[in-house]
Amino acid sequence: MAEAEAEIHTEGRRKLVVGLGNPGMEGTRHSVGMAVLGAFAARLGGADCWRSDRHVSGEVILLEVQQTRVVLLRPRLLMNVNGVSVAKAAGKYGIKPEDILLVHDEMDKPLGKIALKHGGSARGHNGVRSCVDCLQADVMLRLRVGIGRPSGKTSVDRHVLSRFTSEEQKVLESVLVQSVDLLISQLSQSDSPQDSRPASSPAGGRQAAQRREGWS
């Protein structure tokens, strides 16, 4: 309990990075945000450091990127209620909506394309809509990871809940690297979101972030 209190009440700038998805369906297109967070944790040597936290209905890792303290969150609730977990984590760690970054799938972009979006409409994404509703804000930064639209007569539901093909997996590997580079670059910035710009892999990216077991 003392450790949890120390984590909650530490001083300094904090960010919350969330991989939206469905628990138990991490390999599907709809849960690609979770894949990005998994790759992010692995890059920083924390792949085995996820711990379940019933108070936030999810799994978390505490990190430090440059001077920024970062909470990684994988909700353990279904996509359409992911926002409940995000709001709980934001409350526990004292993180404002403008310091939350959501990583999620985006059908309007083809596989292989990623982009940052500063706030705005959920544009039909149920996970993002849940976050907007539960946080009562739409200012969260979003890393949109393209998964493309369904082909032929495939329904949207079937498409987003399907797994990537072997050929798509090759593209996804590159997407995960680019996404992690972009996250590290974004989290390393000390100024406002308006100062963000397209990121390339930062020099010493692996050294720029340090895993933390607890904050004190």
DSSP 31-80: GHHHHHHHHHHHHTT-TT--EEETTTTEEEEEEEETTEEEEEEEE-S-GG
Catalytic hit among 9, 30, 118, 125? 30
Q: State yes or no: is 30 an active-site residue.
A: yes
Angle at 198 between CA 178 and CA 146, to 5 degrees: 50
Are β-strands 114-118 and 14-19 bridged in parallel, bridged antiparallel, or unpaired? unpaired
Buried b (16+ CB within 10 A) or exposed e, 109-144: bebeebebeeeeebeebbbbbbbbebbebbebbbbb
Return all residues near 141 (Cβ < 8 A) that are at least 6 apart.
98, 100, 101, 102, 116, 117, 118, 119, 186, 193, 196
* Calpha distance 204→176 (Å, rounded): 18
Residues annotated as catalytic (active site), given as ranges: 30
